[in-house]
Every structure is written in structure tokens, then in C-alpha cells.
Amino acid sequence: MPEGSLPKEKTVVTRPYVQVEGIARRYGPTTVFENVWFGVNRGEFVCLVGHSGCGKTTILNILAGLDAPSEGVVLADGREIAGPSLQHAVIFQGHALVPWMTAEQNVAFALGSKHRDWPRHRLAEAARAALAKVGLEGAAGRKPSELSGGMKQRVGIARAFAITPKMMLMDEPFSALDALTRGALQEEVSRLVTEAGQTAFMITHDVDEAILLSDRILLMTNGPRARVAEVVVNTLPKPRVRATLHHQPGYHALRDHIMDFLITRSRTLAGAPPDGYDPRRPPEVII
Ligand SMILES: Nc1ncnc2c1ncn2[C@@H]1O[C@H](COP(=O)(O)OP(=O)(O)OP(=O)(O)O)[C@@H](O)[C@H]1O
Ligand SMILES: [Mg+2]
């Protein structure tokens, strides 16, 4: 055996937890996006950024098994995603709570779909513990109509984390909230994802949110025929704190790069890809 090479049985094959392989979505003659390839590694936090209508929600729904691509496949843990899974929880932009159930019942209901053998009192207890983790111990008995927007979103977060999924999928989960609530919930989600060692995929329009949370940021061109133009590697050290993020060396350059993409390059790069662009390996950029 040549010096320096590993014996076969010790070769470790690492593949991403999620592998998106050449997916497209077409509606009749319109192609929303095509040739989209990317991976999300285990324990990694990936954000997807792009303008309205480029297909972000569609991609997230495909990852959640709630929608299927017109072309291509998505693998999770090496297996094709063919439908919703309790291993992949979604936090929606709207809280998507059941209006006639209390906060506790909403969380217990989700828990019951995972733990079918648990008696009611155990589900209720676990639901209260999940709500306590997001600071809602006092609101367990309230219905969504009796909760503020931020509290409703917290219930949605508690519900998603309660089922201890391997992957958390988030579609602009904080966009409807005021800045203060948004900041608090970003930090909560970041803590919960890190504690659980989860893989996370989040769509956001908030560049600071992407910089705060992500390990890598996928930048999508405008549609139609949108694609992942590049992948920005976020090398800012962790843990990151919202209040001091903008003082970190490298923050402004990273922010400017993403803003320039959103303002100009997302449009100029739309349509025909540049020479040398390989959709299977969109360029990784370190700022
Ligand atoms: N049933 C449908 N028929 C035709 N076009 C559709 C249909 N559903 C969605 N689309 C189109 O697909 C595109 C992608 O929608 P999607 O919701 O994924 O976008 P998005 O990037 O999440 O946008 P936003 O930032 O506004 O949430 C949109 O241009 C939309 O008009
Ligand atoms: Mg969307």
C-alpha cells in the first residue's frame, strides 16, 4: 500500500445529510428554477437568500416532503425524500397553529404523532416542557387568538423542536415580527439547534439574520430559471451575538457582498449562466 493512503476499511465516506441533485420546478411553459444542486452537512446551518418568486418556498417544501420536484431528486441521509417525515420539522412564516387548541394542545398534538404510545398526561407534560424552553410556561392554556404574534411564533418553534427532528426547516420564520422579538427568537432558535446538534435550513430576506445564524448562505438568482449562483461561506466566529455582530472584523464585507448580490447581481446573473459555471458545484465564496 502506498505510504500515506488509508487502508480500505478505514476510509470514511462523508456525504451531506441533505443532497439536492438537479431539481427543477416547472409550471407549464414556465420554469421557476432548474438545475439546483446543493448539500447541507450534518449539524450545519444553511440559509437560502433570493428575491421573491425565485422558488425558495418551493425548495423548502420539497425538502420537507410537502412538494415534489418536476425533475431531479433530494436525498436525506442517503434516501430519497418521498413525503413528510417526523425527522424533518417545519417552522412556517405564519405560525400555522390549530386555532381551537391551546398552546399546550398544539404542541401535544404534534408530539402525539411521534409518540403514539404516550398517554395524554405524558404528552401534556412534554408539551409544557417544550413551551417552557421558549419562555411560554405561563401561556400553555391559551389559544392562539389570546397570544401575541411573537408568542404564536414561539409556540410554532416549541412544536417543531418538541418532536426532536434531525433537521429543522424554516421559511422566513421571524419576518412578521418586530425587531426586538425577532432578535430574541433568532437567539432561541440558534441555541436550540446547537443544543440538539440539528441540521438547519432557513429561508430569510434578512441579511443580518443569515449572517448571525448560518454556516453557509446560498444566493439564488431571480427567476424565471432561477439557480444557486454562489455559496457564501460564513467564517465569522461562533457563537455570534446580535448586539456585537456588526463589530466583528469581516462582518461589513460579508454584508456588502450579500447586499450587492441582492441589489444587482441576482438580476444581472439571471438568465444564461456565466462561462465556466457548473450548476453541480456553484462557486463557494469566502469573503
Ligand atoms: N400553482 C402554481 N402555478 C403557477 N405558478 C406557481 C404556482 N405556485 C407557485 N408558482 C410560482 O412559483 C414561483 C415560486 O414560488 P415560491 O413561493 O417558491 O417563491 P419564493 O421564492 O418563496 O417567494 P417569496 O420570497 O415571495 O416567498 C412564483 O413565481 C410563483 O408565482
Ligand atoms: Mg416564500
Residue 244: inside a domain: yes
**In 85-97, which positions are buried (b, 16+ CB within 10 angstroms) versus exposed (e)?**
bebbbbbbbebeb
Residue 57: inside a domain: yes
The SS3 call for residue 34 is: strand
Of 56, 90, 262, which is best to mutate to test ligand 1, by the most ligand atoms within 8 angstroms of its C-beta? 56
Residue 236: inside a domain: yes
> How many structural domains comprise the chain?
1
Of 51, 58, 169, which is best to mutate to test ligand 1, by the most ligand atoms within 8 angstroms of its C-beta? 58
> Separation of 56 CA from ligand 2 center, angstroms?
5
- The reported pLDDT for the residue numbered 271 is 80
The whole-angstrom separation of Cα 117 and Cα 230 is 46
Best CA proximity match to 64, nearest among 85, 39, 36, 91: 85
pTM of the model: 0.93
> Separation of 9 CA from ligand 2 center, angstroms?
44
The domain containing residue 229 runs over which residues? 13-87+213-286
Residue 185: inside a domain: no
**Contact indicator for 203, 57 with CB cutoff of 8 Å:** yes
- The reported pLDDT for the residue numbered 273 is 86
| Strand segments (E) across the chain | 18-27, 30-40, 45-49, 71-76, 79-80, 88-91, 167-171, 199-203, 216-220, 228-233, 284-286
Best CA proximity match to 50, nearest among 38, 67, 64: 38
- The reported pLDDT for the residue numbered 3 is 53
- Ligand 1: residues with CB < 6 A are 27, 32, 52-58, 223
Residue 219: inside a domain: yes
Residue 180: inside a domain: no
Atom 2 of ligand 1, residue of closest alpha carbon? 27
Residue 238: inside a domain: yes
**Contact indicator for 193, 200 with CB cutoff of 8 Å:** yes
Q: Which pLDDT tens digits describe the chain residue by residue (287 residues)? A: 455 555 556 666 678 999 999 999 999 999 999 999 999 999 999 999 999 999 999 999 999 999 999 999 999 999 999 999 999 999 988 889 999 999 999 999 999 999 999 999 999 999 999 999 999 999 999 999 999 999 999 999 999 999 999 999 999 999 888 888 899 999 999 999 999 999 999 999 999 999 999 999 999 999 999 999 999 999 999 989 999 999 999 999 999 999 999 999 999 999 888 899 999 999 999 99
- The reported pLDDT for the residue numbered 94 is 83
- The reported pLDDT for the residue numbered 267 is 94
The whole-angstrom separation of Cα 238 and Cα 205 is 21
Grid coordinates representing 92?
A: 412556517
Residue 195: inside a domain: no
CATH number of the domain enclosing 67 = 3.40.50
Atom 31 of ligand 1, residue of closest alpha carbon? 53
- The reported pLDDT for the residue numbered 12 is 66
